[in-house]
Amino acid sequence: MSKLKDPVDKKKLMLYLLLIALAFLLYDMNHREPRVSIQAVEGSKMTEAEKLARENRELMERLGRLEPAAPVKIVTAEQPSRSVETLPVLAVMEEGTHVQFEILYEDPSWIRPDYQPYWHTSRKPSASIPDRIHNSYRRLFVSAGNEITWAETLDDAGIAELAKEINLAGQEDKTEDKVALVIFRHQVTDVIALNNQVVLLGSPARTGVQVIAINKQDLAPDVSGAVPDHNNNRKYFFQMATPDGYEVDYNIAVISFNKK
């Protein structure tokens, strides 16, 4: 290769080299990935005022679920539309039919807790304080639905921790075929039914829990021998009573019958 003798040619060559280097630099800048990334603000980076405001809002929501907005007197009574015509317990005992029942769980020494951890509002939407107080008066809880309503009954009664020990469906039946009853401080020894009235005879006690199950079809016939139509819903009046006819507690449940 001949040497460039003309100074002008040397200057042109230097200019070309500079232009080529600049072109490579611009290409690299345009195609390089950005080194700066935008990240979401985490909760740990919230200011102290923002944390307090969020905590206050959550506590207000929980408080709103627990008690009424203003101090009021609440009296929970059975609505007339839910009433069921009943006979004296002794009349049911004389004229009714003995119904077979299965004891699913029994612990005579069990003591009913005043409060359960799973009732805390931080874990899930909880019932209000008035509802909890009303449930605490109950010694009889009735579930005549599916597994969901059965779970709700266990929660309301405060024995959800016993769910794994209670096999409601049994070996051949389904949960929907049973009426389950949670009974506190009362040992049931006999069940007698007459029309829509079911008497749970037993001896009152200071402690204990008993869970029994009754087949729906055993409650279906009435004195006329009729069986409810398919999916016919009927209100039943369940009574805990002593052998000499004194009522201890009661509850009302709607039972849906399905013909097989």
> What are 186-208's pLDDT values in tens digits?
999 999 999 999 999 999 999 99
How many domains does one find in the chain?
2
Q: Write down the pLDDT at residue 130.
A: 79
Tell me the per-residue pLDDT of 222-253, one tens digit each, with 9 for 90 and over: 545 455 555 578 889 999 999 999 999 999 99
Q: In this structure, are 7 and 93 located in the same domain? A: no
Residue 170 confidence (pLDDT) above 90: no
Q: How confident is the model at residue 25 (pLDDT cuts 50, 70, 90)?
A: low
Token readout for 254 is: 């709607």
The pTM assigned to this predicted structure is 0.71
Q: In this structure, are 24 and 147 located in the same domain? A: no
Q: In this structure, are 154 and 27 located in the same domain? A: no
Percent of the chain scored above 90 by pLDDT?
37
Q: In this structure, are 232 and 160 located in the same domain? A: yes
Compute the distance between CA of residue 201 and CA of residue 190 in angstroms, rounded to an integer: 5
**Helix, strand, coil tally for the chain in percent (to 5):** 35, 25, 40
In a domain, 68, yes or no: no
Query: Which structural domain range is residue 24 located in?
Result: 1-31
Q: In this structure, are 115 and 6 located in the same domain? A: no
Q: Write down the pLDDT at residue 198.
A: 96
Residue 59 CA: distances (Å) to CA of 49, 103, 130, 135: 15, 42, 19, 24
Compute the distance between CA of residue 141 and CA of residue 156 in angstroms, rounded to an integer: 8
Q: Write down the pLDDT at residue 71.
A: 80
Average pLDDT along the chain: 80
Residue 260 confidence (pLDDT) above 60: no
Nearest to 212 by CA among 151, 164, 170: 170
Tell me the per-residue pLDDT of 33-78, one tens digit each, with 9 for 90 and over: 555 454 555 556 788 888 888 888 877 777 776 777 778 887 776 6
